[in-house]
């Protein structure tokens, strides 16, 4: 079934607003404008806090703020109308709901809404102005350009269970310490340790910092407890740091193992364009008779990379990337073949869960001499041969833009 014109428009708009999708000049320009708008807004926000700069350039700062915030509002609206492309398989309403309630959706909303709210609710101007700080978190989107920038996110995601467990233990220690200190110090310092919350403040400042000196025990028992709690705090607070450090080491070792395990071969690919009158037009992938040892690895349509499922219909203008083992001319090189050994980290993982570059695609999986479709739910097994490529590798060998 061919996509409707609105669906095609949605896909183009979604590709445009999706940071890191650089398959067309329009998408690249939008990313540049979006990044510059955010940086200009943040720089002006900081500069306006200096009285001398605000007195001289205050009007310019206001203009920049108005223009960039309006851009954020337009960006939010575009993401709303393309939510179906981000959350495939959901109805329009549910897709919009998922985006609006997501972390990025909330950040995008707070990037512009607090700017306009004082017009309707003047009394809350100070609070709304504080919420504008949230827009700085839009900078996290630039991690789409670098896998290194997303490393910390991967570490936190993988170690979230251990981190939550360590935070839970720390909270329990703070609660127990506050009650103990309140019990032994309240009678001696009723104005200092007034209630259990005073003990929580002391315990938190003692364990997480060196203490502020505004509240401290004076009784021998309280001082003895303070020493014990300080030692426990040093050990427990170091646990999350150790978990994150170990996560970084594991990520680095994973990347090193992948580099060592990969076996590069001259795997060859042929590019074929579907021109007017081509016999394949209107036929599905499963209906196309391919020579022995060949397979359609990718379909490039309107700048979008499609995984060639059997029910995809070939259309005029499509570009097909065909894996041909015996072909010798018009080929694409530098495609990597990864053989999954016994200790390979991809074993028993779904393709969608693999920690690989955003620019990297798995186009073919060979298992026991047979080709397996590399969809997101496919679980990779020991002995599989996985063919992968990056967009940059393909671009090198295309005479015209591929994407």
* Residues 11 and 44 reside in one and the same domain: yes
Domain match, 135 and 217 both: no
As for how many domains the chain has, the answer is 3
> Encoding tokens for residue 127?
């609070």
Residue 403 in domain: no
269 shares a domain with 359 = yes
**What would the pLDDT profile of 325-382 be if each residue is shown by its tens digit?**
543 333 344 456 778 877 777 888 887 777 665 556 677 777 876 767 676 778 888 8
Closest of 384, 305, 393, 391 to residue 351, by C-alpha: 384
Domain assignment of residue 151, yes or no: no
pLDDT given at position 190: 87
> In which band, very low, low, confident or very high, does the pLDDT at 2 lie, cut at 50, 70 and 90?
very low
Q: Which CATH number does the domain housing residue 178 bear?
A: 1.10.287.70
Are 312 and 274 spatial neighbours (Cβ–Cβ below 8 Å)? no
Is residue 150 in a domain? no
Q: What is the number of helices (H) and of strands (E) in the chain? A: 13, 8
Among 240, 258, 276, identify where a domain stops. 258
The answer as to whether 182 is a domain residue is yes
Could you tell me the pLDDT band of residue 207, with boundaries at 50, 70 and 90? confident
Measured from the Cβ of residue 192, the count of other Cβ atoms closer than 10 Å reads: 15
What's the CATH code of the domain at 15? 1.20.120
Question: In DSSP terms, which residues pair with 362 in a beta bridge?
Answer: 388
CB 204 within 8 A of CB 188: no
268: enclosing H helix or E strand: strand 263-273
| Strand-by-strand arrangement of the 294-301 sheet | 304-306, 294-301, 319-324, 263-273, 331-339, 385-390, 360-367, 370-372
Checking if the pLDDT of 395 tops 50, the result is no
Q: Which of 27-31, 37-41, 290-294 has the lowest mean pLDDT?
A: 290-294
247 shares its domain with 279: no
Q: What is the pLDDT of residue 77?
A: 93
Rounded alpha-carbon distances, angstroms, from residue 72 to 10, 12, 142, 341, 374: 19, 19, 15, 47, 37
C-alpha distances out from residue 325 to 101, 129, 246, 361, Å: 47, 62, 42, 19
Sorting pLDDT into bands at 50, 70 and 90, what band is 120?
Answer: confident
- Cα–Cα distance for residue pair 29/15, rounded to 1 Å: 12
Q: Please, which residues have CB within 8 angstroms of residue 248's CB and are 6 or more apart in sequence?
A: 151, 155
Looking at the domain assignment, is residue 154 inside a domain?
A: no
Is residue 300 in some structural domain?
yes
For tokens 């398959």, the residue is 23
**Domain residues for 67?**
5-145
- Half-sphere exposure (CA, 13 Å, Cβ side) for 158? 18
What pLDDT, on a 0 to 100 scale, did the predictor assign at position 361?
67
Q: What is the mean pLDDT of the chain?
A: 77
* Statement to judge: residues 251 and 165 lie in one domain: yes
CA dist 5 → 11, 75, 340, 352 (Å)? 10, 21, 42, 29
- Give the residue among 370, 363, 401 at the shortest CA–CA distance from 384: 370
> What does the alpha-carbon distance between residue 7 and residue 82 come to, in Å, rounded to a whole number?
9
Same domain, 174 and 245: yes
What is the band of 256 on the pLDDT scale with cuts at 50, 70, 90? low
243 and 275 housed in the same domain: no
Question: How many residues are there in the chain?
Answer: 403
* 151 vs 262, higher pLDDT: 151
Neighbours of 376 (CB within 10 A): 11
Unique residue bearing structure tokens 């196309």: 288
Angle at 288 between CA 287 and CA 291, to 5 degrees: 135
Place 246 in a pLDDT band, splitting at 50, 70 and 90. confident
Does residue 402 carry a pLDDT above 50?
A: no
């Amino acid at each position: 079934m061919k996509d409707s014109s609105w669906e095609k428009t949605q896909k183009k708009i979604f590709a445009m607003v999706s940071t890191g999708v650089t398959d067309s000049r329009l998408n690249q320009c939008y990313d540049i404008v979006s990044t510059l708008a955010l940086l200009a807004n943040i720089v002006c926000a900081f500069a306006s806090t200096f009285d001398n700069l605000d007195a001289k350039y205050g009007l310019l700062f206001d203009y920049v703020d108005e223009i960039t915030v309006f851009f954020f509002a337009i960006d939010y609206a575009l993401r709303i109308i393309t939510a179906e492309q981000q959350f495939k398989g959901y109805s329009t309403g549910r897709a919009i709901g998922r985006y609006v309630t997501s972390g990025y959706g909330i950040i995008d909303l707070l990037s512009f809404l607090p700017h306009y709210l004082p017009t309707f609710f003047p009394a809350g101007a100070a609070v709304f102005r504080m919420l504008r700080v949230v827009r700085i978190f839009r900078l996290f989107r630039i991690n789409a350009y670098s896998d290194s920038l997303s490393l910390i996110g991967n570490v936190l995601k993988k170690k979230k269970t251990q981190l939550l467990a360590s935070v839970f233990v720390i909270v329990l220690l703070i609660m127990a310490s506050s009650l103990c200190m309140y019990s032994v110090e309240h009678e001696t310092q009723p104005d200092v340790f007034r209630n259990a919350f005073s003990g929580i403040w002391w315990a938190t400042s003692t364990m997480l910092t060196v203490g502020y000196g505004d509240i401290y025990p004076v009784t021998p028992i309280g001082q003895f407890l303070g020493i014990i709690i300080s030692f426990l705090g040093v050990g427990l607070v170091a646990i999350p740091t150790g978990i994150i450090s170990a996560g970084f080491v594991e990520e680095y070792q994973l990347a090193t193992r992948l580099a060592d395990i990969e076996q590069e071969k001259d795997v060859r690919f042929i590019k074929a364009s579907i021109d007017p009158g081509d016999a394949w037009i209107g036929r599905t992938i499963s209906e196309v008779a391919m020579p022995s040892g060949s397979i359609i690895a990718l379909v490039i349509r309107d700048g979008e990379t499609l995984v060639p499922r059997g029910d995809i219909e070939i259309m005029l203008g499509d570009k097909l990337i065909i894996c041909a083992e015996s072909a010798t001319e018009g080929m694409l090189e530098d495609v990597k073949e990864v053989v999954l050994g016994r200790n390979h980290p991809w074993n028993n993982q779904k393709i969608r869960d693999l920690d690989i570059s955003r620019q990297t695609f798995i186009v073919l999986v060979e298992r026991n001499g047979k080709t397996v479709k590399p969809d997101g739910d496919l679980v990779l097994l020991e002995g599989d041969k996985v063919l992968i490529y990056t967009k940059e590798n393909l671009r090198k060998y295309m005479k015209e833009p591929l994407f």
